[in-house]
Structure 1
Amino acid sequence: MTQHRRYAGFDRRELLRRAAFLAAAAGGGTVFGACATGGGGGTTGPTKKPGGKVDANNPFGVDPKAPLDVVIFKGGFSDEYAKYHEAMYKKRYPESEVKHLGTQDITPQLQPRFVNGTPPDVFDNSGAQDLDTATLVNQGQLLDITPLLDAPSWDIPGKKVGETLIEGALDPLLFEDKPYGIPYALNINGLWHDGKLFEENGWETPETWDDLMALGEKTKAEGIPLWTYQGQYPGYMVSVFNPMVQKHGGNEVMKNIDNLEDGAWQQDAVLAVAEAFFELKSKGYIMPGTAGLSHIQSQAAWAQHKAAIIPCGSWLKSELGSQLPGDFEMTIAPTPSLDSSDKLPFDAVPYSPGESFLVPSKAKNTAGGLEFLRIMLSAEGAQKFAELTYTLTIVDGAHDSQDLDSTLESSLELVKAAQAVERIESPKYGTWYRPLQEEIEAAMGVLLTGKLDARGFLERVQKKADAVKKDPKIKKFTR
């Protein structure tokens, strides 16, 4: 199944990051310096002269005979959805040869190709060995996909592609307000439970932290620990921590963190949530042995009712596969409000887009790469992805009339409720500053084992944030 590095990040793409790229880049001599500062960003639009007629059905001037080179991360989502999208491309351009590679080795496969100037036309930059997006952008290796957003939708009449996307869809791949790819999968991060188990025991979904602590006593009385998480990858818990901080203190708190403001990790809202996390551990509500478990082991334990709640993104069902009992009612809920003083409501959830699809600026068929993304962002393409992966996409409204299973229905209900309230903005620090993200995840793992208290956790993270801010070799971004 999906490969992980030990400390993973916020959305699915972040949660599957790896240290291998940094180690390889540290060897020097490639276009992928670990802390690139030059390059001036990517290129806007197709960089090759169009080989086909430009019209509403072919807005990028795709050469109908040009081959298309596609590389897909074959992880928890598999790559069957991409084969369907490739078939849609072949139907429109039957003379084109579509080359497909499904792999978990993104960096080993693609780093040499970027170095040699022969990257694929489009690729899914995900998994434990993904390439550092910020480095690619800084060195001009990626296409600014603004022309895609201005192109007509593949199958949604009267709409440009950019008009068919949910609010904030492109946020994770914005650099200096320019979009450098499509974060395609709408990862709904939240707390999962078995609706049937909760109903049988009369347990209610906790809406506040006090509710969660009270539920912990109830599940304990039934011999079921309240909580487990993907112990070897505490980045999953960062996906709970961040939205709770934003709910409690507002989006401005996370903006300060993203912008590396002095003392940002010691803001009152951040400390309050860190103290709550320490309480989760100190009260013994985490399933014994969790810290040593992989994502597969902890998720399987949860599916066996060895814990009542697990945090995860909406790829959970796809990743569990046959380990999920047939009568299990997978239900997702928002992270709890800390207390009544929270600035954002309970229904606010981080529906963070992930699974980044990028078009290299030096690809042979950049027009075809953009066209492939246009296909993915069609209603047909989005619905097939959801059908095969149990995960929604960033195409707004594409799944409203689709026949969905209970897991997708639960996710869609959560999104609709979140869209009715102020949005939790996607944190940027994980994409902008990988060393900081890795330190936060590592510190989170220590906090949850009880070897750091809340203040110790924040001091450790603040120290790293200060170091990143002072490092002249790391390009800084602001929002």
Structure 2
Amino acid sequence: MSVTTDRRTLLRRAAAVGLVAAPGVSFLSACAGSDDSSDDTKQATGTKSADNPLGIDPKAGIEIVIFDGGLGTKYATDVDTPLYNKKWPDSKVTYSATQQVATTIKPRLNSGNAPDMINNSGSDIMDFGAIVKAGQAADLTDLFAAPSLDIEGKTVAETLVPGAVQQGTYDGKPFAVNYSFTVFGLWYNKKLFDKNKWTIPTTWADFTALLEKIKAAGITPFSYAGANASYYMVRAIMTSAAKIGTEQVLKDIDNLKPGAWTNEAVKQAAAAWGEVGKKFANPSHLGLKHTEVQLQQNQDKVAFYPCGSWLENEQAASTPAGFEYAMMAFPSVTASDKLPATAINAAAGEIYFAAAKSKNPQGGKEYLRTMLSKEAALEFTKLTKSLTVVAGAADGVTISPGLTSANDALSKAGQDVFMGYLFDTWYKKLDDASREAANQLFFKGGDAQKFCDTMEAASQAVAKDSSITKFTRS
């Protein structure tokens, strides 16, 4: 995979190159002063029927915008659009790719001239909670109630993994499709571990003992990139906190409950990871970007790397023949963790939504229905080495070593698979604060109490800010 499709590099670079469009397709237009800026813009509609449950105009075109990152864009150009046009041949799809989503899309949302379907991702991601509050995202209730394109007898919602619809739900209504199903854990080179006879740990004592062995071998035992991937460390801390005290710990954090961040489970998790930072970190990695640290792992200079199951595909071009990705669950921190060592954080990610004030929002929803077909989901997995929220779409298909390992971890987890947290998409200020606090804890010797107090203050500042729309989860 070329650097232009390296998801985490492109989504974090401050100097990203902006718009990239495939040959023969149009770039995004600024549309300043467009006649479409009025909320009264005429929107394309058609007649609802069994074959057209969303009531789209079969001849109306749609405009889609895809984030150009680690998942690439071929799934849109080579799979989803052809499938959409197979059913709706008279509907022209105008496609654009961007690495700067907010910079290019937000002005169009505000002017009422938005693309019909948008992939909201990357370092320049838009605050989706604010988009929902502003009425700029279309309600997807009718999409999820519509019949699946190719799974007979089921609605779109009924074809998805548990929790998929809920992850895009705000105050009881669904506004987003979180499409890519990501398994989170600790990634390592299986061939390196086999060569050194390093056993995969399940307890914290065994984990730190292994880190000592790895350090003695001249390899950085555990790392992440502080410059643009500090949320990987936030995920590690939150996962450990949930395993110590159950997912309720994360629900309380999402719900801005007073004292949620100073919960003993969060403090224990922060203390454990803070010690790893003090003893086993490479301080220079604070200033590195994700691909720089990931390349070091491919060179066997870093052993464990906390990440999601997109990692293998993202590093495809840099992975040598002697490297085989594998993933393990985060080890138990205490002997009394409420969830077992095999428990896994897996969640839907990559936001896709239909714009409420575009020319053809129903067409945008129909494009999403196409993406949520079993055929499209399977091809997405083949292209990206990433699962989707379409349940069982990749069953029986030969997949890569890393994704196979992630699937095995899911299988071992059984019922102990938890969604994780939502504050990072609900409250950007809290997300920003968590990234900085994680870096302070891990790379700068910050103590667990300081981490908890800092985040508690940030959480309650958001809670008391009446200008911020609040969301709840149960």
TM-score (norm 1): 0.88
| Partner Cα distance (2:278, 2:348) in 1 | 33
Structure 2 match to 1:236: 232
1:267 to 263, 274, 279: 263
Structure 1 match to 2:35: none
1:76 to 70, 73, 92: 70
| Partner Cα distance (1:324, 1:399) in 2 | 24
Matched, 1:279 2:259: no
Give yes or no for contact 1:187–1:351 (8 Å, CA) kept in 2: yes
- Which structure 1 residue ranges, 4+ long, deviate > 3 Å from structure 2? 1-4, 15-20, 47-50
1:59-98 correspondence to structure 2 within 5 Å: 59-83=53-77, 84-98=79-93
Q: Secondary structure at the match of 1:143?
A: coil
Structure 2 match to 1:27: none
Q: Secondary structure at the match of 1:118?
A: coil
Structure 1 match to 2:29: none
Structure 1 match to 2:298: 303
1:139 to 134, 137, 146: 134
Structure 2 match to 1:395: 390
| Partner Cα distance (2:379, 2:400) in 1 | 13
Structure 2 match to 1:7: none
Give yes or no for contact 1:231–1:298 (8 Å, CA) kept in 2: no
Q: Secondary structure at the match of 2:343?
A: coil
Structure 1 match to 2:343: 348
Moved more, 408-417 or 396-405: 408-417
The alpha-carbon distance between structure 1 residues 77 and 213, as it changes in their structure 2 partners (threshold 3 A), is same
1:402-417 correspondence to structure 2 within 5 Å: 402-417=397-412
Q: Which runs of 5+ in 1 are unaligned?
A: 5-11, 21-46
Structure 2 match to 1:254: 250
Moved more, 214-223 or 74-83: 214-223
Structure 2 match to 1:370: 365
Give yes or no for contact 2:247–2:420 (8 Å, CA) kept in 1: no
1:7-406 correspondence to structure 2 within 5 Å: 16=11, 48=43, 50-51=45-46, 53-83=47-77, 84-232=79-227, 233-283=229-279, 285-406=280-401
Q: Secondary structure at the match of 1:386?
A: helix
Q: Which runs of 5+ in 2 are unaligned?
A: 16-41
| Partner Cα distance (1:176, 1:397) in 2 | 29
Moved more, 232-241 or 170-179: 170-179
| Partner Cα distance (1:379, 1:363) in 2 | 27
Structure 2 match to 1:465: 459
Partner amino acid for 1:266? T
2:418 to 414, 421, 424: 424
| Partner Cα distance (1:421, 1:287) in 2 | 36
Give yes or no for contact 1:62–1:367 (8 Å, CA) kept in 2: yes
| Partner Cα distance (1:92, 1:293) in 2 | 46
| Partner Cα distance (1:363, 1:219) in 2 | 54
Give yes or no for contact 2:119–2:351 (8 Å, CA) kept in 1: yes
Moved more, 465-474 or 125-134: 465-474
Partner amino acid for 1:122? M
Q: How much does 1:417 deviate? A: 3.0
Q: How much does 1:124 deviate? A: 0.3
- Cα-to-partner distance string for 1:73-125 (whole Å, 9 max, x where unaligned): 01111111011201111111111111000111212221221122111110100
Q: How much does 1:50 deviate? A: 3.2
Give yes or no for contact 1:209–1:339 (8 Å, CA) kept in 2: yes
| Partner Cα distance (2:50, 2:385) in 1 | 32
Q: How much does 1:256 deviate? A: 1.5
Q: Secondary structure at the match of 2:143?
A: helix
Q: How much does 1:54 deviate? A: 2.8
Q: How much does 1:56 deviate? A: 3.0
Give yes or no for contact 2:274–2:445 (8 Å, CA) kept in 1: no
Q: Secondary structure at the match of 1:312?
A: strand
RMSD: 2.1
Partner amino acid for 1:269? A
The alpha-carbon distance between structure 1 residues 257 and 2, as it changes in their structure 2 partners (threshold 3 A), is farther
Q: How much does 1:288 deviate? A: 4.8
- Cα-to-partner distance string for 1:201-244 (whole Å, 9 max, x where unaligned): 11111212112101012112322221111221211111111111
Q: How much does 1:19 deviate? A: 9.7
| Partner Cα distance (1:19, 1:336) in 2 | 34
Q: How much does 1:410 deviate? A: 1.5
The alpha-carbon distance between structure 1 residues 214 and 461, as it changes in their structure 2 partners (threshold 3 A), is same
Q: Secondary structure at the match of 1:350?
A: strand
- Cα-to-partner distance string for 1:340-392 (whole Å, 9 max, x where unaligned): 21111222211121110000111211221111111111111011111111111
| Partner Cα distance (2:221, 2:336) in 1 | 25
Give yes or no for contact 2:277–2:443 (8 Å, CA) kept in 1: yes
Give yes or no for contact 2:127–2:426 (8 Å, CA) kept in 1: no
Partner amino acid for 1:123? I
Query: Percent identity between the aligned chains?
Result: 40
Partner amino acid for 1:280? V
Q: Secondary structure at the match of 2:417?
A: coil
Give yes or no for contact 2:44–2:57 (8 Å, CA) kept in 1: no
Q: How much does 1:57 deviate? A: 2.8
| Partner Cα distance (2:335, 2:72) in 1 | 42
Give yes or no for contact 1:125–1:357 (8 Å, CA) kept in 2: yes
| Partner Cα distance (2:5, 2:369) in 1 | 28
Partner amino acid for 1:187? T
| Partner Cα distance (1:164, 1:263) in 2 | 38
